[in-house]
């Protein structure tokens, strides 16, 4: 702990969080300016001492904290753009099953206090197949969150529309073949939408949102739990498509056939471990790869966004595309 309660904290939101805050205009800049005061306020309200910031976020300031009775915890203060209420609702309903436990929250201040977890799967970097197996075990647990929300706007249509709009506004930064295929897949997943078969999906279950549970407990049987849920209703294949969307580093330097073969094998593993239809996972995975690439380019992180589009070009080759 680097300071006492009530004293201003040394605050340094990481570069991506700052970039995202600035992209939000005055509301984001205000959030950055008020961050030190907000931390002090939460320390007083929740009787905690806030310590070192944690790396890895894109939409929040996250830091270690200690409660008055000496328990380790983590304070998260989210940017105003995030669906903070939705995130809190999902964590509350999960009650630690597949997710971080929630100790306290303040919807107006976009603040929450969570159990302290260990490093992310992204930092620990087990082999890709091990990561996929663990993420599947975590998702099987996380999909048991009770459905307490109406189906929002259907996700595939939203993503298809976003892909078309961003492709034009960014000056067509990938081939028409990639965008057309993403649109075809968006249309198929939208047509397959069935509210009765939806679960509360995590929405962004990438290895950076999977954190090691330091001690065994109920709900953390996979050894990791999720943070940062979007928590909307969708078919299970959606979350698995998000898992399939990553692996740009593993695909780098491969030709279309080799890249397609590798991603197909990951897709088969995801289907096998969850019993979910492989083609549905493939379609979501491709749509997510393209929409994420465009979305990240749009908020100005070219280096992070480009590999998603480059790998989509590889995967759009026959016979893997379909
Ligand atoms: N409960 C926690 N325990 C330990 N580290 C955490 C916890 N919550 C978040 N973190 C760290 O902060 C990072 C960002 O948190 P996250 O909730 O994903 O925020 P963002 O909305 O910015 O993505 C995580 O990748 C992890 O490194
Ligand atoms: Mg996150």
Mean pLDDT by 10 residues, the chain (322 residues): 40 78 91 95 98 88 96 96 90 97 97 97 97 98 91 92 98 97 98 94 97 96 97 97 96 93 97 98 98 93 94 83 58
Atom 26 (ligand 1): residue with closest C-alpha? 56
> What is the per-residue pLDDT for 11?
60
Check if 62 has its Cβ closer than 6 Å to any atom of ligand 1. yes
* DSSP summary character for residue 50: E
Q: How far apart are CA 310 and CA 225, in angstroms?
A: 31
* pTM exceeding the 0.75 threshold for the entire prediction: yes
CA of 246 to the centre of ligand 2 (A): 14
Q: What is the DSSP letter of 94?
A: H
pLDDT at 132: 98
As a whole number of angstroms, the distance between CA 171 and CA 168 comes to 5
Q: What is the pLDDT of residue 320?
A: 55
First CA to last CA distance, the chain: 54
CA–CA dist 6, 3 (Å, integer): 9
| Whether the CB of 57 sits within 6 Å of ligand 1 | yes
281 lines ligand 1 (CB under 6 A): no
CA of 196 to the centre of ligand 2 (A): 28
Ligand nearest to the CA of 76: 1
Kindly give, in sequence order, each residue whose CB lies less than 8 Å from that of residue 131, ignoring residues fewer than 6 positions away: 121, 125, 207
For ligand 2, the distance from its centroid to the CA atom of residue 5, given in whole angstroms, is: 27
15-115 is classed CATH 3.40.50.80: no
CA of 168 to the centre of ligand 2 (A): 28
Where do you find CATH 3.90.1200.10 in the chain? Answer: 121-315
pLDDT of residue 317: 81
Question: Is the CB–ligand 1 distance for residue 294 below 6 Å?
Answer: no
Q: Provide the pLDDT for residue 82.
A: 73
What are the Cα distances from residue 276, in Å, to 24, 183, 197?
37, 22, 12
User: Would you say 118 and 198 are in contact if contact means Cβ atoms under 8 Å apart?
Assistant: no
List where CATH 3.30.200.20 sits in the chain: 15-115
Which residue is closest in CA terms to ligand 1's atom 17?
228
Among positive and negative, which fits the CA dihedral 48, 90, 55, 208?
positive
* Residue 120 β-bridge partners: 211
13 lines ligand 1 (CB under 6 A): no
Query: Which residues neighbour ligand 2 (ion) by CB within 5 Å?
Result: 209, 228
- Please state the atom number of ligand 1 nearest to the C-alpha of residue 100: 1
Ligand 1 atom closest to the Cα of residue 123 is 27
Spatial distance between the Cα atoms of 167 and 179, rounded to a whole number of angstroms = 8
The answer to whether 264 and 251 are in contact (CB under 8 A) is: no
pLDDT at residue 8, as a whole number? 39
Question: Which pLDDT value is given to residue 153?
Answer: 86
Residue 9 has a pLDDT of 43
- Give, using CA atoms, the residue closest to atom 3 of ligand 1: 117
Domain 121-315 has CATH 3.90.1200.10: yes
pLDDT at 4: 41
Q: How far is the CA of 95 from the centre of ligand 2 (A)?
A: 19
Res 19: pLDDT: 84
């Amino acid at each position: 702990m680097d300071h006492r309660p009530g004293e201003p904290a040394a605050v340094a939101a990481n570069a991506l969080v700052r970039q995202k805050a600035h992209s939000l205009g005055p509301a984001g800049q205000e959030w950055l300016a008020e961050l030190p005061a907000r931390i002090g306020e939460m320390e007083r309200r929740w009787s905690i001492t806030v310590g070192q910031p944690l790396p890895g976020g894109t939409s929040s300031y996250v830091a270690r904290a200690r409660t008055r009775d000496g328990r380790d915890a983590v304070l998260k203060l989210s940017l105003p753009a995030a669906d903070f209420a939705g995130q809190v609702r999902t964590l509350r309903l999960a009650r630690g099953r597949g997710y971080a436990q929630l100790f306290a929250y303040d919807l107006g201040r976009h603040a929450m206090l969570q159990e302290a977890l260990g490093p992310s799967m992204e930092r620990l970097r087990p082999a890709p197949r091990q990561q996929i197996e663990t993420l599947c075990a975590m998702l099987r647990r996380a999909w048991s969150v009770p459905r307490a929300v109406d189906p929002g706007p259907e996700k595939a249509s939203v993503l298809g529309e976003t892909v078309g709009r961003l492709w034009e506004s960014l000056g067509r930064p990938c081939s028409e073949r990639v965008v057309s295929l993403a649109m075809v897949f968006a249309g198929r997943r939208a047509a397959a939408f069935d509210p009765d078969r939806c679960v509360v999906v995590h929405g962004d279950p990438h290895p950076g949102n999977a954190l090691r549970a330091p001690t065994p407990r109920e709900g953390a049987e996979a050894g990791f739990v999720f943070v940062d849920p979007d928590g909307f209703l969708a078919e299970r294949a959606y979350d698995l498509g998000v898992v399939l969307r990553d692996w740009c580093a593993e695909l780098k330097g491969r030709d279309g056939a080799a890249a397609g073969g590798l991603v197909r094998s990951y897709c088969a593993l995801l289907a096998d471990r969850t019993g979910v239809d492989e083609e549905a996972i493939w379609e979501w995975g491709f749509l997510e790869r393209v929409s994420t690439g465009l979305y990240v380019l749009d908020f100005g992180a070219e280096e992070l966004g480009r590999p998603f589009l480059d790998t989509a070009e590889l995967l759009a080759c026959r016979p893997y595309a379909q």
